[in-house]
Amino acid sequence: MSIQSHEFKTEVKQLLDLMIHSLYSHKEVFLRELISNASDAIDKVRFLGLTNQTLYEANTDWKIKISVDAENSILTVSDNGIGMSKDEIVEALGTIAHSGTREFLEQLQSKENLQKADLIGQFGVGFYSSFMVADKITVISRKAGLPNDMAVKWESTGDGRFTVEDTKRDGRGTDVILHIKEDEKRYLQEWEIKAIVKKYSDFIEHPIYLEVEREKQSELDKTKTVKVKEEEKINSQKALWLRDKSEITKEEYDEFYKHISHDFNPPQKVIHYKAEGTQEFTVLLFIPSKMPFNLYFKDYKIGPMLYIKRVQIMKNCEDLLPEYLRFVKGVVDADDLPLNVSREMLQNNRQVEIIRKNITKKVLDTLSEMMQNEYDEYVKFYREFGKILKEAIHFDFSKRDTVGDLLLFESINSAEGNLIRLKDYVDNMQEGQDAIYYITAQNYKDAVNSPYIEIFKKKGIDVLVLTDPIDDIIFTDYEYNGKRFKAVMKGELDITRSDDKTDSKKDFEPLLKFIKDVLDNKVKDVRLSGRLTDSPCCLVYDEGAVDQRIEMIMKAMGQTVQEQKKILEINPSHPLFMTMNERFEKGINRDELTKFVKLLYDHALILDGSRPENPSDTIKTLSEILIQSLKT
């Protein structure tokens, strides 16, 4: 019996070392790779057997078997698949050798090109991950259709050399025999093997058996027990997403969702379909009914599980869904999705983008159907996840219109807690209204009692109430159906006030200058207001300025925030300013007017949600005015 020895080149030794120690972050994936290869081998012989029945031989009971020899530290993964001939085993397990040029190694070591290496179809890549846990690997394989004595034995210690020799094997298929390293013996433990299979290969189509040792009653002496070896199936084979959805019950969907999400509540919506065409993949996604408690945590895992032919590749694949759909859970199973060498990162290629666009559209279409046909259910969804969904307005320009149709808001013309669609707001806009007005506030009550909406109440113009701190950033510069979003707390308003005879800047110009001089550098400007009808004054930001709540959050996080001086707006129709203007024109008691100006500025700060610079002075001045008022 001749033994052929093959010497790898220096570049290949470097490449093998790189693959063993660098490309896989979790050593346990070696078992996933071996099971995946075994499953592929069975699938291949099943396919070829359709036209060549002799390949089936007498054995058609497809299975993958894992056996352990703990005493000798050996782990074996066997299959009854297509098997390999001598030439094929040299070719298949020598793939790295054939690709082992210096140019290829340099490209692979480059981080940029590492993500572009499409090697998933090459048996040798996943196979060699076994050297992370084994110091020697032996492969015995017999090609389907060949005699038992025409098997081949391949062996290597991972040092850049391998040997090939003739051997025998009963039945077609392949045995991969791992001589486990001293410090990796946990992979010989029954519980460890079961855990890995459950995690990565539970939904493999073919049964996976583990040879276990159990104590049983002796057939010869009933008073004694003997140790026997038996095979125990350790994968469920229940790839729910590959079954016809008409055959799946709601209870089965609910249980599967709870299994993958660790959520005790059933999902609110199930999305299950198969995409066919140039890119084929199956999708089973769930929209939760309740927000996960850790959804806003930094370590929250985003994205559905990614499977390839029922083999789990990634537990959370961030590339398959945009972040504003991070609450969606589920599975995507692709037949031939290209991955990098480790199968732990997706390639940035067109196929991935096709899947991402497809399932993103499907989720948004499903939400749209919920809004149209199950509005009450959609409202429940929106109360849980609306603040996340609307992030698309800021981060995904291609979906702005689609997501805009899905948005719901409270408004000052609706009762507290009632939500209206953005489309309904636009449809009900008054003639000539060219903007969608909104106010940011801590809550609905603060919004409807705010001085910033007084003119809107008077004229019956609706204003959206936005209570999430991030809202002002999201909706700045946003247009929906040609209507721009306009914050009522910023910039000047162009709402006509022709009914206000006192609205004359010329009449109040001297008083405005006096107020600005008194306040010195506290405000950017003082002007007449187009938004006040009942309140005497308010503070507003320039158009495009950062919202005050965002400013407070940034300061709380220790970030430096550029000072934003506000503009003091006064209500010229308010009796207080009419009286102040009369006194100012007559030159009566400028010191008293100065005291009034400072007090009114503090009043504006309080209405704005801010704190007066010196509350004790504010209370003192207010007390003096009250005392003077009581004496007169």
Which is it for the CA torsion 534, 537, 538, 543, positive or negative?
A: positive
> Which helix (H) or strand (E) is 270 found in, with range?
strand 269-275
Level-2 CATH architecture, domain 3-233: 2-Layer Sandwich (3.30)
Q: Retrieve residue 477's tokens.
A: 């510069």
What does the alpha-carbon distance between residue 504 and residue 526 come to, in Å, rounded to a whole number? 14
Band of residue 350 on the pLDDT scale cut at 50, 70, 90: confident
Q: Retrieve residue 380's tokens.
A: 């429940």
Q: What is the model's pLDDT at position 137? A: 94
Of residues 16 and 288, which shows the higher confidence score?
288
CATH code reported for the domain at 240-375: 3.30.230.80
What does the alpha-carbon distance between residue 127 and residue 177 come to, in Å, rounded to a whole number? 11
What does the alpha-carbon distance between residue 126 and residue 116 come to, in Å, rounded to a whole number? 16
Q: Retrieve residue 568's tokens.
A: 């003091």
> Taking the CB of residue 382, how many other CB atoms lie within 10 A of it?
20
The stretch 513-528 carries a mean pLDDT of 90
Residue 181 has pLDDT above 80, yes or no: yes
Q: Retrieve residue 549's tokens.
A: 């709540």
Contacts of residue 557, Cβ cutoff 8 Å, sequence gap at least 6 = none
Q: Retrieve residue 374's tokens.
A: 């199950």
What does the alpha-carbon distance between residue 61 and residue 67 come to, in Å, rounded to a whole number? 18
Residue 381 has pLDDT above 70, yes or no: yes
What does the alpha-carbon distance between residue 305 and residue 294 come to, in Å, rounded to a whole number? 18
Most confidently modeled of 40-49, 126-135, 146-155?
146-155
Q: What are the percentages of helix, strand and coil residues in the chain, rounded to 5? A: 40, 20, 35
Q: Retrieve residue 533's tokens.
A: 């009808």
363 CB-contact burial (10 Å; exposed 0-12 / middle 13-18 / buried 19+): buried
- Which of the residue ranges 99-108, 193-202, 216-225, 326-335 would you say has the lowest mean pLDDT? 99-108
536 touches 570 (CB < 8 A): yes
Of residues 509 and 223, which shows the higher confidence score?
509
407-487 under CATH 3.40.50.11260, yes or no: yes
339 touches 120 (CB < 8 A): yes
Most confidently modeled of 3-7, 152-156, 581-585?
152-156
- Which of the residue ranges 80-84, 153-157, 332-336, 353-357 would you say has the lowest mean pLDDT? 332-336
Residue 548 has pLDDT above 80, yes or no: no
Contacts of residue 115, Cβ cutoff 8 Å, sequence gap at least 6 = 340, 345, 347, 348
Q: What are the residue ranges spanned by the domains of the chain? A: 3-233, 240-375, 407-487, 505-631
User: Hey, which CATH number is domain 505-631, 3.50.50.60, 1.10.760.10, 1.20.120.790, 3.30.2310.20?
Assistant: 1.20.120.790
Q: What is the model's pLDDT at position 556? A: 63
Please tell me what DSSP assigns to residue 53: G
For the entire predicted model, the pTM comes to 0.74
Token pair 């610079």 is found at 613
Kindly give the pairing relationship between strand 151-156 and strand 134-142. antiparallel
What does the alpha-carbon distance between residue 610 and residue 552 come to, in Å, rounded to a whole number? 10
Token pair 């609205």 is found at 503
- Which of the residue ranges 392-396, 478-482, 559-563 would you say has the lowest mean pLDDT? 559-563
The stretch 421-439 carries a mean pLDDT of 93
Query: Given strand 420-421, what is the order of strands in its sheet?
Result: 420-421, 408-411, 464-466, 435-440, 483-487, 479-480
Q: Retrieve residue 16's tokens.
A: 């093998």
Which is it for the CA torsion 601, 604, 606, 608, positive or negative?
A: negative
> Taking the CB of residue 393, how many other CB atoms lie within 10 A of it?
24
Please tell me what DSSP assigns to residue 181: -
Quick one: how far is CA 72 from the chain centroid?
45
Q: What is the model's pLDDT at position 110? A: 53
546 touches 476 (CB < 8 A): no
Kindly give the pairing relationship between strand 74-79 and strand 64-69. antiparallel
Band of residue 202 on the pLDDT scale cut at 50, 70, 90: confident
Residue 551 has pLDDT above 60, yes or no: yes
What does the alpha-carbon distance between residue 384 and residue 267 come to, in Å, rounded to a whole number? 13
Please tell me what DSSP assigns to residue 542: P
pLDDT digits (tens, 9 = 90+) for 300-323: 888 998 888 777 777 888 889 999
Band of residue 22 on the pLDDT scale cut at 50, 70, 90: low
555 touches 522 (CB < 8 A): no
> Taking the CB of residue 219, how many other CB atoms lie within 10 A of it?
7
Band of residue 10 on the pLDDT scale cut at 50, 70, 90: low
Q: What is the model's pLDDT at position 71? A: 94
What does the alpha-carbon distance between residue 243 and residue 174 come to, in Å, rounded to a whole number? 29
Q: What is the model's pLDDT at position 127? A: 81
What does the alpha-carbon distance between residue 412 and residue 61 come to, in Å, rounded to a whole number? 69
**Amino acid identity, residue 392?**
A
Q: Residue 474: name the closest of 386, 552, 367 by CA.
A: 386
Q: Residue 436: name the closest of 415, 401, 464 by CA.
A: 464
- Which of the residue ranges 129-133, 300-304, 336-340, 454-458 would you say has the lowest mean pLDDT? 336-340
**Amino acid identity, residue 170?**
D
Please state, in angstroms and as integers, the Cα–Cα distance from residue 61 to each residue in 54, 80, 84, 230, following that order. 15, 8, 19, 17
Residue 118 has pLDDT above 60, yes or no: no
Most confidently modeled of 158-172, 334-348, 482-496, 497-511?
158-172
Quick one: how far is CA 111 from the chain centroid?
24
The stretch 244-271 carries a mean pLDDT of 88
Kindly give the pairing relationship between strand 225-233 and strand 269-275. unpaired
Q: Residue 412: name the closest of 476, 478, 456 by CA.
A: 456
Residue 399 has pLDDT above 70, yes or no: yes
105 touches 14 (CB < 8 A): yes
Which is it for the CA torsion 425, 428, 434, 437, positive or negative?
A: negative
What does the alpha-carbon distance between residue 18 and residue 129 come to, in Å, rounded to a whole number? 10
Percent pLDDT > 70 in the chain is 84
Please state, in angstroms and as integers, the Cα–Cα distance from residue 175 to each residue in 26, 142, 152, 168, 227, following that order. 23, 9, 11, 12, 25
